[in-house]
């Protein structure tokens, strides 16, 4: 039976989890936001406050609407607090072991008919579903970054996902005012299968000295009409997430063309994860971003 989603639980209050919370609450849904790190949870709620203030200053919503939206988002300090949710979306770090651990401890707290979804950028939905007690009520709901701005959401069915789960997820995305596409359960689905090898190639171009950070980004902005350069975009996505997606493509498709660039590995090892760490291919600690190479 299709289920109307009214209350959404979100696990992971990072850049994606906080954005998903904001769009769900804006669509009138109640949101329970969880993170294992209380500071990240606070930062996630502060990011929603920041996002809503920007909309108020642009005149998109007024103060009263902003307060009502914010009032629909409650912190959830444990998975037990997610019990009343109709749908729980996992948006934690892009690491298969982390996600599997979450699913194996989460399900006992949920109603048997609750839908469980993952916002993974690349990991097999079928494998993640196997870590739950409800593979037929499990689906990939892949939002794009920044969630409040981007129109697309990819829906990915695992081998066991029931039609009713897919239909409920599709109706949920429509309620958020977004457009969904269906992708089969292959490594990195559609958007990241195409986008991440392009970003990885831009990092190789930098690594081999073909061009500087600025030249590569300017070349792709002005020469290919991309709104953002690929290295700027990599920083925006998070270099740990980029590396993880490339590893999933490399291992999942067993093709050397997906080999993560060693320079990407080095940046991640240094903790230079992009905007969220204030340093990546650009240094964001000053008033304007400065290329790091
Ligand atoms: N960044 C992007 O552009 C983008 C786009 C689409 C999808 N995604 C996917 O969304 C997910 C989150 O990415 P992000 O960019 O928001 O990462 P992020 O690093 O900003 O946030 C991840 C959050 O997950 C929390 N977390 C980790 N383990 C947890 C656990 N066991 N329980 C609860 N919380 C936990 C961390 O504390 C952190 O706050 C990843 O799967 C990523 O691939 C990212």
pTM of the predicted protein model = 0.94
Higher pLDDT, 185 or 2: 185
Cα(286)–Cα(274) distance, integer angstroms: 14
Residues 6+ apart with CB under 8 A from 209: none
Residue 244 CA, closest ligand 1 atom number:
43
Residue 202 clears pLDDT 70, i.e. is over it: yes
Residue 171 clears pLDDT 80, i.e. is over it: yes
Vertex 27 angle, CA 228 and 134, to 5°: 90
Which residue in this structure is represented by tokens 């990241």? 192
Report the catalytic residues. 121, 142, 154, 192
Task: Give the distance (Å) from ligand 1 centre to CA of residue 223.
Answer: 32
Q: Name the residue with the closest Cα to ligand 1, atom 21.
A: 14
Ligand 1: list residues with CB < 6 Å: 11-17, 34-37, 40, 91-94, 98, 102, 119-121, 142-145, 237-238, 241, 276
- For the residues 93-101, what does the mean pLDDT come to? 96
Provide Rg for the chain, Cα atoms.
19
The single-letter DSSP state of residue 257 is G
- Confidence band of 68 (pLDDT split at 50, 70, 90): very high
- Confidence band of 3 (pLDDT split at 50, 70, 90): confident
pLDDT at 163: 97
Q: Kindly report, residue by residue over 229-262, the tens digit of the pLDDT.
A: 999 999 999 999 999 999 999 999 999 999 999 9
- Where b means 16+ CB within 10 Å and e means fewer, 149-158 reads eeeebbbbbb
Cα(283)–Cα(270) distance, integer angstroms: 13
pLDDT at 1: 63
Cα(9)–Cα(11) distance, integer angstroms: 7
Which of 40, 41, 92, 271 to mutate for ligand 1's pocket (most ligand atoms within 8 Å of CB)? 92
pLDDT at 2: 78
Q: What CA–CA distances, in Å, run from 91 to 79, 105, 211, 240? A: 14, 15, 35, 14
Task: Give the distance (Å) from ligand 1 centre to CA of residue 177.
Answer: 23
Mean pLDDT score across all residues of the chain: 97
Residues 6+ apart with CB under 8 A from 130: none
């Amino acid at each position: 039976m299709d289920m109307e989603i009214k209350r959404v639980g979100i696990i992971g209050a990072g850049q994606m989890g906080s954005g998903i919370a904001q769009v769900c609450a804006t669509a009138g849904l109640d949101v329970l936001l969880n993170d294992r790190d209380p500071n990240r949870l606070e930062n996630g709620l502060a990011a929603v406050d920041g996002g809503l203030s920007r909309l108020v200053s642009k005149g998109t919503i007024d103060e009263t609407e902003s307060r009502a939206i914010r009032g629909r988002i409650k912190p959830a300090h444990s998975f037990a607090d997610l019990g009343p949710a109709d749908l729980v979306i996992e948006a934690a770090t892009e690491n298969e072991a982390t996600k599997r651990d979450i699913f194996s401890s989460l399900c006992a707290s949920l109603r048997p008919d609750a839908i469980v979804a993952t916002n993974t950028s690349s990991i097999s939905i079928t494998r993640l579903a196997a870590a739950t007690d409800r593979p037929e009520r499990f689906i990939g709901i892949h939002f794009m970054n920044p969630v409040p701005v981007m129109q697309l959401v990819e829906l990915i069915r695992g081998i066991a996902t029931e039609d009713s789960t897919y239909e409920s997820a599709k109706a949920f995305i429509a309620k958020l005012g977004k457009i969904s596409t269906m992708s089969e359960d292959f490594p990195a689905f559609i958007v990241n299968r195409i986008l991440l090898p392009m970003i990885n190639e831009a990092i190789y171009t930098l690594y081999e000295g073909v061009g500087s950070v600025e030249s590569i980004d300017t070349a792709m902005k002005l020469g290919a009409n991309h709104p953002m350069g690929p290295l700027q975009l990599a920083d925006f996505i998070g270099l740990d997430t980029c590396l993880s997606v490339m590893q999933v493509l490399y291992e999942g498709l067993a093709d050397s063309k997906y080999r993560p660039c060693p320079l990407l590995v080095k940046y991640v090892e240094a903790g230079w994860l992009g905007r969220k760490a204030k340093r990546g291919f650009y240094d964001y600690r000053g008033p304007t971003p400065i290329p790091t190479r």
